Structure 1
Amino acid sequence: MNRLLWIIPFIIVLGSAASSFARPLGCSSSSPSGLDTDCDGVADEEDNCVNVPNGDCTIDDPISCDIDDNGTLSEAELEGGGQRNTDLDDEGDACDDRDGDNLIDIFDSCPDVQNPTQQGPDDFSACTDKDFDGQGDSLDNCPSESNPDQKNRDGDTLGDACDKCIFTIDTGADSDGDGIGDACENDIDNDTIRNERDNCPAIPNRDQLDRDQDKVGDACDNCPNISNTDQENICPDPSVVPGPQPAEDILGGLPEQRELVSGSGGCTLSAATTTDPEPISGFLGLMILVGMTIGIISLLRSRRIRRF
């Protein structure tokens, strides 16, 4: 007998659980189906917002009208409550979402412009829509070009509708203004020379003239007559000729010259030292040195011959 008393409570619990699983979730109602999913007092078959409470709203009825479930009723909740259906569509005003951004219109600061990142009912930053495509300018990837689908195949910041390189990530630059972005154009300057072979890819120069042969065309070379591949702002001094410079005079110029000058009173002559006014060039100095060497050798030989 005692064992039976212990089993009875378990049977009751199991029966209740089975009953709850057999009945759909929600609240019971007097309707034939007995179901009121959103517990707003309106049976599902009569409710135009099955999942959003929108019964007859009064200030004393916070349960069926508190759509945001914050425990208080806002003016929008009171005005949007009940089974009102202003636009006569399949859903009541309480669950309408005209712009499809998952924000119910009565709480959407921009009900006709998608703004899923709305910070609150007073956030109107996304409401401006210049191209009338249903996308607020602050979220629109082509704010000046209507593109409701916001298609963006290359994943950059520009939608296909306004992207000049729809398959190449780019900034939208178009140097020649032909409607094809620089990032995906083979000949940016339209001079018939492909970018990779053009010595001035951004400036038309079909002749590819390059006088200094520095691989930078004259049309865009900041020093067209002097080779400077690095294109630094300062051109090399054109007066300096590249290559080895002439060697200095190997003799160091002519020996010091002694010039006779008059002494005081015009009686005495003295030697005054002057410097070579113009050094002898390296080649001429070398010739003089060779000549002097040959002369000395010839002189020595002639003296030896006389001795014998």
Structure 2
Amino acid sequence: MPPRRVITGRSQEPRQRFAEELRLLRAAKADSLRELGDKVGWDWSLFGKMENGHTLGSPEVVQALDQYYGTPGLLLALWELAMADPTQFKERYRRYMVLEAEAVSMWQYSPSILPGLLQTPGYARELLMEGGLKGDELDVQVEARMGRRDVLFKDEPLQFRAILSEAVLRTSLEDVEEWHAQLEHLDMMGHRLNVTLQVLPLAAGLHGLINTDTIFLRGPSGQTVAWVETGYSGELVQETAAVERLQLRYDRVRDLALTPDLSRQFIERMLEEAPCEPLT
């Protein structure tokens, strides 16, 4: 078998390292992609995409490969490292993902959908499906989004504030059980000491961030940057004056929002009103 590089949690290219290991192991077996698919019982084209770095596959696929290659846990460990790699996200999001992982505090205004850090798997799945993802790639992206939430639960968690337009909470999922689970999760998160949730009522009217998802991230050095996104584009804002102008707009939106206590009551009221079983 070809020699392998030392595997550590400090790898700078976890996604590429995972794909390389897959290629090396298959070469050692002298299998074609089609032969590998027949032997493992998965579509051979998926293995090709995984070896080219186009997808990471699901944990079930990776465990099947670990068993076939006789590498118990190795590929799954590399897969987990690759799942945390920002290069798995679309290129325009990668810089943001690095900043999010390093941030000590973050505050956000969401006009139409829940922030990724507050989404349940069911919410994320339905949202990503609406964006055109399906199959293994959908599973990978849902898992990646869930992995981002770890910053809220680590020993020194991210301090996170989110202002949610009432429209976010009025836009339910098709699956009423998943929507009920999402509201329960939101209620739970609103009781965490490091998370502050505020609801902006529709009656508040027009404001300076009416159609713009706006996120501020403060890094360990104290520098604050902003990420602004519409449905079609996203932009990282680093110039101090521009960030301050956005911050002023955000502060004005926060002044219009319900207090955290009233916002929790609003969410709990919606939870009581939401159906928890499919309508017949």
TM-score (norm 1): 0.17
Computing the radius of gyration over CA atoms, which structure comes out larger, 1 or 2?
1
Higher helix content, 1 or 2:
2
Query: Greater relative contact order (Cα 8 A, min sep 6): structure 1 or 2?
Result: 2
Higher strand content, 1 or 2:
2
